[in-house]
Structure 1
């Protein structure tokens, strides 16, 4: 029996488990059937298409590249976006990474349980956040995180063409312009850990010891006078 995801991608109903599931390129949500009751919802291992622990056998490293806020490469090889997502779903998922479960909000205030697998989405979002942190000012990041929730709410509640969604997206696109670089991950059955964060225009220091020495030297410089509140000025 065929189904369609919201994005129009072909999907299928997971009838073998009595659950409703839509298969798309970016993620697979599962609901209903045995997942109706949040207080008791065993999830069959065979349900998952990508996120299957132990499929990889051993740990592996993987590098994701971004250019101006857009994912463009895996392990240095530039890929079209659809192929990049497909590759990450397979490689990240075979370590069992990318499973989610939680309560979804309904229009009347009720909540329903939904289980998802989104290996590519998980690592892409985490990669983007690391690179944003590397290049953006702290205050900009804080405001962006707030506007992300506004963008999601406006989109989910049907106001895609509203000015608030457009305004919040303009802000985020402006932030994304400088988000260029790579993040290398080590993937294991226990999760994903960073091994290298390299930004094109970073704000990070590469030697904390050296930075601390310079900071101490600047603090003790006779050319600077200490302000009563702890600041220094010439």
Structure 2
């Protein structure tokens, strides 16, 4: 298929990338394959990968710990933006790809590789996310995407290929969900989930927590502290960015928080059904949104919600992390976060996140103005003139239309 002597493969050890190693060696004249596994918090999935990669033909395996960079450089900016794709999805898979692809390019350049290979399907979003990042950092690098060219047409055929080439797998045909796991989330796709009419088998598939029905009958209270929009402490204890997510994953998972079942619009045009677990992320988004209601003025809050959050989410979902617009939006978001400092107390109960109080040194809430009791600072008669002017266009239009005439 071409004179490729050395390929760097984005390697997870899952079904796709496990069989890609022997496939590359078969189809590219026994080329050298260097596997790169990115640690973005997927835990035990990384155990035994080096032995597996080498047994299936890789010359070496890099395991790169990118967890801190993932949280601080990708998750926090997206959280501060309030970005949710289609107002629901917390972008767990999407914003992990830029940091992974960036490191793969760095290794490929250092190794003098001829090409970078990934295992993304031609139907998915990840092919775009990986390749746009590669184009940003190494525009002349050749990209190999086997799903676009090989003879395999399904995950069943991939399993057949693996068995024929003695590639060990940790799945069966019956449990062959397509999953993506990192510190932030776990996604589930495929099998019975391909029919939106089927209720997810939560008691069988959940890994980061329990279903709301299985959660405790007693609520859990948690307080999250923010400084300039960034989470810095849980229940008064200062923690690293990674440990904050881990702690809230634990609390959220135990209380059935952060389950999402949605049909989303993929970038490539089709609709896709996914089930997501994002326990800690759901808590952080809720807390951050709540704190902004206390600390942002109305115009900034509304503009950010209506014009920035959705656009930012689209850029992340579409793989456009390393673009001038995303960077410009992040600069705007950072300016809005100067006063997003304070504590948010939440009650977690059977899948629900409930406000339990919040405070901020930059609070714009004035109890004396807002009170239903007697006050000395607000003249209620002022509202009459305000309404007359605010409603003047409505009044003029109604008069011109002859409304209200006897």
| TM bucket normalised to smaller | 0.7 to 0.9
The residue number in structure 2 matching 1:154 is: 315
SS of the aligned residue for 2:204 comes to helix
Q: Which is richer in helix?
A: 2
Deviation at 1:190, TM superposition (A): 5.1
Kindly provide the CA deviation profile for residues 43-102 of structure 1, in whole angstroms up to 9, marking residues without a partner as x. Answer: 241311223133445212110110111001110001001111011011111111110010
Is 1:194 the equivalent of 2:366?
A: no
Q: Could you tell me which residue of structure 2 aligns to residue 102 of structure 1? A: 262
Structure 1 residues 113 and 122: alpha-carbon distance in aligned structure 2, compared to 1, 3 A threshold: same
Rounded Cα–Cα distance in structure 2 between residues aligned with 1:200 and 1:30: 41
1:36 corresponds, among 194, 207, 231, to: 194
Count, aligned residues: 227
- 1:126 matched residue in structure 2: 286
- CA separation in 2, counterparts of 1:7 and 1:144? 32
How far apart are residue 225 of structure 1 and its match? 11
- Across the aligned residues of Structure 1 and Structure 2, the Cα RMSD in angstroms comes to 2.8
Which 10-residue stretch deviates more, 125-134 or 198-207?
198-207
Matched, 1:21 2:168: no
Name whichever structure is richer in strand by fraction.
1
Q: 1:144 aligns with which of 304, 315, 334?
A: 304
Aligned partner of 1:45 in structure 2 is 203
Is contact 2:248-2:279 (8 Å) kept? yes
Determine the C-alpha separation between the residues in 2 that align with 1:195 and 1:225: 32
**C-alpha displacement of 1:175:** 0.6
Long gaps (5+) in structure 1: none
When residues 113 and 7 of structure 1 are mapped into structure 2, their CA distance, relative to the original with a 3 A threshold, is farther
Bigger Rg, which one: 2
SS for the counterpart of 2:251 is helix
Q: Which moved more, 1:20-29 or 1:10-19?
A: 10-19
Deviation per CA, 1:1-42: give whole Å up to 9, x if none. Answer: 834998744465775633122221111111112211222243
In 2, Cα distance between equivalents of 1:211 and 1:68: 33
TM-score, normalised via structure 1 length: 0.85
Deviation, structure 1 residue 228: 7.4
> Does the CA contact (< 8 Å) of 1:2 and 1:10 recur in 2?
no
Q: 1:94 to 1:214 in 2, by over 3 A?
A: same
1:169 aligns to what?
A: 330
| Match of residue 59 from structure 1 | 219
Gaps of 5+ in 2: 1-11, 15-35, 46-169, 390-406
